[in-house]
């Protein structure tokens, strides 16, 4: 039986220039790495995301936050000053994915899964032995 | 004007997520480095994976009115699309060369990851499991 690990219930982070800061007071999901073409284009590499309920996230410096509607279902939040990618929001769910790179260390999080591996870039390999899904967690088809 | 002629085929092409900024590369891409420094991880929200050291005249950028530069240190600036936030470029302040964020390249890139740099600043939420060379700081370190 695997040991049950307590997931963090507090986290904080900021963009590179510090204009946008956030704090999470509530359960945080472990990190899921997305290999879809949209994520790779916007981040410039495959991003890992934690996730939380919006109601548990407190934002400061929101005036620097720019949202880009990347699909019918989601929008991406970045800092207009330094360009840091911070958030991916599945619209209408009340939840927000937070780019793990923006979190202050230690995060207490672990990477648990890769998604959209069918869209992976050709310039790297996934070798960590973690679960891989060809699409999203909703479609849940194994690669 | 020096640089690529308009009839020359580019070695590589790429663009930001919304397509406002596009570029063509007229020099062979160099193997990619994965940068684990906190600046890259904050700005990308992920690792910074770059094909670096391209002569600046070999990269032709369109849509520069949408390209924003953020000077992240005394030594370098980072270019991103002001409309969609895509990370595109890292450039030393002398502006003689430019690094390209590999995620912005059109597939296939034909590239492979060659090394990890600044692994001393790695995040705690992932492991580096491959056998590629690793430097605690920059590749010069």
Tokens 């900021």 correspond to what residue? Answer: A14
Which pLDDT score, from 0 to 100, does residue A34 have? 98
Which pLDDT score, from 0 to 100, does residue A26 have? 97
How high does pLDDT run on average in chain B? 94
For A22, residues 6+ apart whose C-beta sits below 8 A from its C-beta are A12, A13, A14, A57, A58, A59, A60, A86, A98, A102
Task: Kindly report the pTM of this predicted structure.
Answer: 0.94
ipTM of the complex: 0.93
Nearest to B103 among A40, A48, A111 (CB): A40
Closest CA to A76 of A19, A45, A94, A68: A68
Counted residue by residue, chain B has a size of: 141
Distance (Å, rounded) from C-alpha B103 to C-alpha A47?
10
Band the pLDDT of B139: cuts 50, 70, 90: low
Please provide the DSSP assignment of B5-67 as one string. Answer: -TTSPPSEEEE-SSSSSEEEE-SPPPPEEEE--HHHHHHHSS-EEEEEEEEGGGEEEE-GGGE
Q: What pLDDT, in 10s, does the model give residues A26-77?
A: 999 999 999 999 999 999 999 999 999 999 999 999 999 999 999 999 999 9
Closest CA to B115 of B97, B135, B129, B90: B135
Chain B interface test: which of A44, A46, A51, A124 (most B C-beta within 10 Å): A44
């Amino acid at each position: 039986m695997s040991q049950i690990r307590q997931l963090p219930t507090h986290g904080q982070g900021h963009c590179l220039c510090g204009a946008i800061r956030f704090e999470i007071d509530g359960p945080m999901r472990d990190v899921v790495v997305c290999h879809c073409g949209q994520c790779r284009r916007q981040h410039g590499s495959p991003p890992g995301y934690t996730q939380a309920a919006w109601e548990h996230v407190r934002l400061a410096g929101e005036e620097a936050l720019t949202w880009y509607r990347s699909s019918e279902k989601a929008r991406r939040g970045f800092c207009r000053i330094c360009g840091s990618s911070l958030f991916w929001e599945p619209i209408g769910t009340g939840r927000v994915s937070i780019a793990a790179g923006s979190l202050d260390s230690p995060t207490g999080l672990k990477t648990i899964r890769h998604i959209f591996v069918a869209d992976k870039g050709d310039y790297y390999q996934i070798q960590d032995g973690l679960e891989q899904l060809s699409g999203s967690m909703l479609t849940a088809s194994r690669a | 004007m020096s640089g690529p002629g308009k009839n020359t085929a580019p070695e590589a092409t790429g663009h930001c997520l919304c397509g406002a900024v596009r570029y063509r590369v007229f020099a062979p891409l160099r193997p990619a480095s994965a940068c684990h420094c906190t600046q890259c991880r904050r700005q990308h929200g992920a690792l910074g994976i770059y094909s670096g050291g391209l002569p600046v005249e070999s990269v032709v950028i369109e849509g520069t009115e949408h390209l924003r530069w953020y000077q992240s240190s005394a030594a370098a600036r980072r270019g991103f699309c002001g409309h969609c936030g895509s990370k595109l470029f890292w450039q030393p302040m002398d502006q003689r060369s430019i690094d390209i964020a590999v995620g912005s390249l059109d597939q296939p890139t034909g590239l492979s990851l060659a090394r990890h740099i600044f692994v001393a600043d790695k995040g705690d939420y992932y492991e580096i499991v491959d056998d590629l060379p690793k430097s605690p700081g920059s590749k010069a370190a």
